[in-house]
Amino acid sequence: MFNIRYKPLTSAPNTPLKFIFAACKGYYPYFIFEVGYAFCNSLFKILVAVVFSKMIGYFSSVSIADFSWRKALFYLGGILAMFLGTNLIRFVRDYINENVRNTISWRVREYGITYAAGHSAAYLKEQKSGQLAQRIISLSHATWRQLLAFTRLDSCTWLIFITLFFIGKVSVWFLIPIVIFGVCSVLVSIAISKKTTTLKKMGAAANAKFSGEVIDSLSNILLIKLFGQERREITKLQSDLNDVNKVNIQAVKSENFLYAMQEILLMTFRICGIFMALYLWQLNKIDVAGVVLVLLLLEDILTYFSRFFWEATNIRTSLGKLADALTFLQIPHDIIDNPHARPLLVKKGKIEFKNLVFGYTPYKKVFNGFNLTIHPGEKIGIVGKSGSGKSTLINLLQRSYDLQKGEILIDGQDISKVTNHSLKQALSIIAQDSLLFHRTIKKNIAFGAPDASDRQIYNAARKAFADDFIKQTPHGYLTITGERGVKLSGGQRQRIAIARALLKKSPILILDEATSALDNETENDVISAINELMVNKTVIAIAHRLSTLKAMDRIIVLDKGKIVEEGTPDSLIDKQGKFAKLWQLQQE
């Protein structure tokens, strides 16, 4: 019972209540366990008041001569035992449920991250990472708050029913104002909290948007400073923050109004209860012990009612926040694994583009019947003007988009029928702006092969001509690279990316403008590292600097999604076609 094992969340509905039940799946016994403990805890709490009233009744009914210390100590011992039992049970319940809530909260966050990661690169490029992260965090936090509110609501419910039972035993007349008070409180809560829930949902959406704007500004802080736009960005963020505050202030006003109305009802009921108890005592309908018990329980039940409505309001509020956080789970993945997908097995590295038909919009095709075969171990260079289809071809090979028609084969296996994970494992990509994590150089190199030994990491760095400059950094391989590798130069980032690709050992290598942002001297070092990386691999290289493609086996020249020239670099230069013209322009 106390061994709370982690169980991943594998699927989840997109409506708040159904999502909560799905998130708790596998942990229901813990909540049943909590319900039982909550009942015992509530019963012990009420029994303390019962025993205390009995003791007061005993003291008021006997003379000094007839007073019995034995009976008095019996009552005091009973109160102490109930008090200790109550706190022991509460400790056990809180320990178990805190662990369960945190475990469920973490599985929800993990599911959110996994779901977000399941989207295609094309989708993620359109999203603000900060806003997406805020929604994932809100999803986890709102679930945690919801479970906490449910737990407290369960405890309050038991306390209310057990208290009503003991009050009814003293006199059923007390139940009438309690019922009236309960009905009025429920009606007031429903009327006001509905508006509060809507405002909280609007606030959560505004806050997620604002978080995205903040992170977007912070990630581009160097660009902002470069253009001297600090004041403009701050003014923009202040305007966004004002929008968030307006909604939040309205929600707080609505909440405060609800609590004020509940306090008025509570005070009215408290006064009515005292008058009724005194009136029944005057009529000799109840004794002193009954008056004490009723006054104690009435005070308690008011507190329980107040807590009950507070938690009920929290549940509605959390549901509003949860509904907003769930919006990103309602967006289906555009690139998903085929139900019968198998892992991609690459033995040779042959790539075939067969009759590709693809366009970003239905009305304009980038490719319409495109064909290209890349033989195992062949090194292909792809050139062409902007918009000719170079990057699109690479994106399709990575399955960032699905084809309208045709197929892409790797060693005869259709990439749409293999698992996305295995496809990504078969590809190593070095782009113009190599992405690095805000982690150590060592961890960045080992990112594609997390189980690599230190010796393998150092060997990869040496082959990438990165070892020398790494050793000159403040902490060597343990130096933090900064966000997106900002502490390193472009050439240094590229060489770390090459070391990362070397360590990954993927059979297919994609070079997407890998040297275009480098100076000539740095470019020569990086090209030397790339030549080491290209050994025994099938290579596709896109480059505007045609000199970097001299080592390629074949050059493909694209224009408007069609192959207009192909051949070795030397043969295309001799041919005096499009490639030769581009080559000549770069030599001048």
Residues 263-309: pLDDT tens digits? Answer: 777 777 777 777 777 777 777 777 777 777 777 777 777 677 777 77
DSSP for residue 481: -
Structure-token match 């449920």, residue found: 97
| 477-491 exposure pattern, b = at least 16 Cβ within 10 A, e = fewer | bebbbeeebebbebb
What tokens does 519 get? 């100076």
Query: What is the pLDDT at residue 424?
Result: 87
| Contacts for 157-163: CB closer than 8 Å, 24+ residues apart | 157/308, 158/38, 158/39, 158/41, 158/42, 158/43, 159/42, 159/45, 159/46, 159/300, 159/301, 159/304, 160/301, 160/304, 160/305, 160/308, 162/42, 162/43, 162/46, 163/46, 163/297, 163/300, 163/301, 163/304
Query: What is the pLDDT at residue 59?
Result: 66
pLDDT band at 410 (very low <50, low <70, confident <90, very high): very high
| Statement: residue 517 has pLDDT above 60 | no
DSSP for residue 484: G
For 416-445, the pLDDT digits (tens) are 999 988 998 888 888 777 778 888 889 888
Query: What is the pLDDT at residue 227?
Result: 60
**Nearest-angstrom CA–CA distance, 115 and 127:** 14
Mean pLDDT, the chain, rounded, equals 78
Q: CB–CB of 45/125 below 8 Å? A: no
Q: CB–CB of 341/417 below 8 Å? A: yes
**Nearest-angstrom CA–CA distance, 301 and 557:** 81
Amino acid letter, 194: K
Percent of the residues in the chain that have a pLDDT greater than 90, as a whole number: 9
Which residues are CB-contacts of 286 (< 8 A; sequence separation ≥ 6)? 170, 171, 277, 280, 294
pTM of the model: 0.63
Cα-based distances in Å from 485 to 221, 387, 436, 469, 515: 14, 29, 5, 14, 17
